[in-house]
Every structure is written in structure tokens, then in C-alpha cells.
Structure 1
């Protein structure tokens, strides 16, 4: 059995919970209605989580624009292709669901792209908040409190969007 590590930190968008194995962050959750998935468990940190905590604190402070903490992304081949494209986006960059579909070789599959984006196990570290509708609108966000969380992240990175 693989040892699991866990930590939490406060952020401007609410408490964040990070889960990792010995080598990489495997999950990032943003609290929803004051609750995190593993609130009942004590923290059990490792070196990977310490790096992730530091990098997230720097991101929220505005002094870090990219992450290099290792992440483990496990999903279907389609999901993993979408997440790999999201990793290519930098601070302040956005992409549409349609453009993302084209980038992974599945033009016209924006709805499926939305499902893969929403299934991202490590939001923020893999910038799924940077995906917008083709007209620049915000269509949803599955992390934290939803659209208000996405609005904060977009504003933090100075990413413009349509109202």
C-alpha cells in the first residue's frame, strides 16, 4: 500500500487541501461551503507537500507565476491529453474549450473537453481555471465555490473574460 500524505493551507479562495504520495501531488481540493474532503484526518506532510505549500503561498502572494512541484495526473488517455495541454498554459494565458479540443486532436468535442477539465485532480497547479468559452465567457468551475473561485483566479492572473 502506498503511503498517503496530507496537508492544508489557507488561501484567498478558502482552505486548500493537498494530497500526495511519496513523489508527487495527487490531489488539490478547494473548500466548498467550509468543508474539505479529508477534514477528519490529521495532517501528514512530506517534502513534496512542503514544496507545494510554499509554491502555492507564493502564487497567492503574486510572486510565483509557474509551478514546478511534481504532480501525478491519473485519468483516461483523453483526460491526460487535456491536462497535458493545460500544463502548457502559462500565467495569464487562457484558451477556449474549442481550441483545447483542437489541440488534443478532437475538434468539435468541446463538451467532452469540459468534462475532462472539470475532472482535473490538481486545479491551480494545472490551470483549468484558464479555460473559457469561445466568446470569452465563464461557463463554470468545479473547484471551491465555483464561478466566484474562478473569477478570483482569473483576476489574480489578470486574464480578461467577457461578462
Structure 2
């Protein structure tokens, strides 16, 4: 994809513009949801299992594509290698605690992607890609009032 991953694009946007364009955000969310709707409407449903801004790609014209559907996801309809996941903050809290994974896991992950797109970045915890609940709450607070988060951090 000509503009790379969505995460790469968000970093460039944050450096150059500091805020996300609301129209672009809505358009991208719609495209991602459309792709998830297609995957989930297959019989049996295909669960992506690793939806993050690193696995969403963008073209120069703003077209979004979901990539990196793991082969075992396609063959077994669920992601089976949970231990190898690097972005656990994008998984629903119940992921791994229940015997069967449903399409709800992708919807939770989409919500996290939408939040990351809206604030341009969610701070991870050091070298780990784990994002704390505090960082998620800070991102949500920022959306409510950008000045609140400024005072909260400094």
C-alpha cells in the first residue's frame, strides 16, 4: 500500500498536523467496518484476530485495506496462537478467558483502532506494546477535552 500501515500514517499526521481530520476518520472507520462486516458474514465467519493500526493499510487516495489475516485464522476460523500476539490491548478483555472466540473480538479491536486513529497515537508502556488502561482512559479524556489531557500530563 502506497502510504504504508495506518500506524505509520498516523505518526506522520501527528508530526505534521497534530490533529485527525474528522471526515477522514469517519471514512476510514466506515471502510474498516465494511471489511469486517464482509469477513464476519462469511459462512463460517472469518475472525481477523489481530486487527490493529499495524495490520490496517492505507493508499495515497485514502482507501483502507485490512491485511495480515493469519493463515490459521482462515483455515480454522479463529486465531489460535494467542501467546504470540503483540498488541494485547486491542483484544477484548474476555479474549483468552472464554473457550470460543467470536466476532466480538474484532469489534473490540476496531474500537481500539478507532480510538487510536482519533487521537493519532495511544502511548504504550515502554518497549512493550502493552497499553495500560490509564493510557486508554487518557486518550478518551483527550477526545472529550484536549485541554484536560494537557493539564493531566503536565
For Structure 1 versus Structure 2, the TM-score category normalised by the shorter chain is under 0.3
TM-score normalised over the length of structure 2: 0.27
TM-score normalised over the length of structure 1: 0.26
Flag the structure with higher strand content: 1
Flag the structure with higher helix content: 2
